[in-house]
Structure 1
Amino acid sequence: MEPTDTGWSWGWAGWGLAAMLLFWAIGAYNRVMSLRNAIAVAFAQLDTHMSARASVCAELLAVLRPLLPNEQATFDALDAAQQEVQTALQAVRARPYAGDPVASLGVASAVHAAALTRLMSMLEHHAELREHPELFAQVDELKMIERQRSFTRQVFNQAVGAYNEAIIQFPTRVLASFYGFREARSL
């Protein structure tokens, strides 16, 4: 009789262990999915500010082109950088947790920042533009949007960091590749 009792108790212990592992796997999956969804939410906020920046840059360029015909190269560089950012944003919107599209957006954003810095420097050197107060209102709005974008970029990077940390921790790391979770990239 003892062998039967031992077999019966090991059977229940095995089922209990299997159930515990199953519930752990489900919990780990839900935790990582929650963190991945937080990346998407953070990116949506960042996307809003980047779209607002694009709108203000377009308005600013429309005002500046007729006023400074000799600076068309600067305007064209900013316009091209803005188009690059918009193309990269389109790719990231589908999967903000994917590494390669976010890396492309990072490069496009760096190019855009350089072009925008050049434009702001140019504005400082043209004293005749002070006669156009609406122009400086747009510049102020652009500066405010840049500060907001910087903050939402930081929130996005923190969400990416929390997700990446979760998928490399043991024992979740064991299931990460099984579930198809890959490392996300920050901006």
Structure 2
Amino acid sequence: MRGATIAAVIIVVVAVLVYGTFAGTYNRLVQANQQVNAAQADVETQLQRRFDLIPNLVESTKAVLIQERTVFEALATARTQYAGTRPGTPERVEAANQYQSAIARLLVIVENYPVLRSSETVQSLMRELASTENQVAYARRGYNAAVQAYDTMVQSFPTNLLASSFGFRPRPYFQAQPGSEQAPRVNLSVPAKP
């Protein structure tokens, strides 16, 4: 009888330890996943701030820059694509990258027009845009750090066994758009009248 009691106690202790290990690992995975979600929400908030700011800048510059219609169209198209995608999807990241590329072209245009550079409204909007771009970059760094910690956990043994059985999958990083290391080229020539 005494041997059966000891065996039962050992089995219960082992079961509690195994359960505690699995529960603790699962809870750490949930926490890391939630940190990625929070960081993603921070990025989304900053991107939305950027999307709300750009129309004001565009309206302030439109009268002078009628011939730069392609930049305004690129901004509108990217914003529409962004709004039509789910957060955290590769399509949404691509739309945000296209928008950023169009913003870079718009900034080059503004710098090349003295009338725009001297406008107080445009200058204020440009400062706000620069601040927003810094906040987007900061939020993306935070997101990528959270993804790195989460992905490391999801892909490390033995946590990966539990992660895969509960549907925890690696998350994508925000990456620079191909070609973003080069400054955009902008054609500032006015088309000839027919």
TM bucket by the smaller chain? 0.7 to 0.9
Residue in 2 aligned with 1:155?
142
Q: Which of the pair is proportionally richer in helix? A: 1
How far is 1:73 from its partner?
A: 1.4
Alignment check: 8 A CA contact 2:111 2:117 kept: no
Which residue in the other structure is 1:167 paired with? 154
> Where does structure 1 lack aligned partners over 5 or more consecutive residues?
none
Letter in 1 for 2:162: L
1:80 matched to 2:77: yes
2:63 to 46, 49, 66: 66
Query: Displacement, 1:67?
Result: 2.4
RMSD of the TM alignment (CA)? 1.6
Identity score, percent: 24
Aligned to 2:49: 52
Deviation at 1:53, TM superposition (A): 0.5
**Runs of 4+, deviation exceeding 6 Å:** none
Aligned-partner Cα distance in 2 for 1:27–1:131: 59
| Residue deviations 1:68-122 (CA, integer Å, cap 9, x gap) | 211111111112112222333xx11xxx4xxxx1x22222222112111111111
1:163 Cα deviation after fit = 0.8
Residue aligning to 1:23: 20
* Count of aligned positions: 174
User: TM-score scaled to structure 1, two decimals?
Assistant: 0.86
Counting only pairs closer than 5 Å after superposition, residues 1-187 of structure 1 correspond to structure 2 as 5-88=2-85, 91-92=86-87, 96=88, 101=89, 103-187=90-174
Q: CA deviation at 1:36?
A: 0.8
Are 2:50 and 2:129, in contact at CA under 8 Å, matched by a contact in 1? yes
Report the CA distance between 1:5 and its aligned residue. 4.4
Give the partner amino acid of 2:125: Q
| Structure 1 residue 6, shift from structure 2 partner | 4.0
Q: Give the gaps of 5 or more residues in structure 2.
A: 175-194
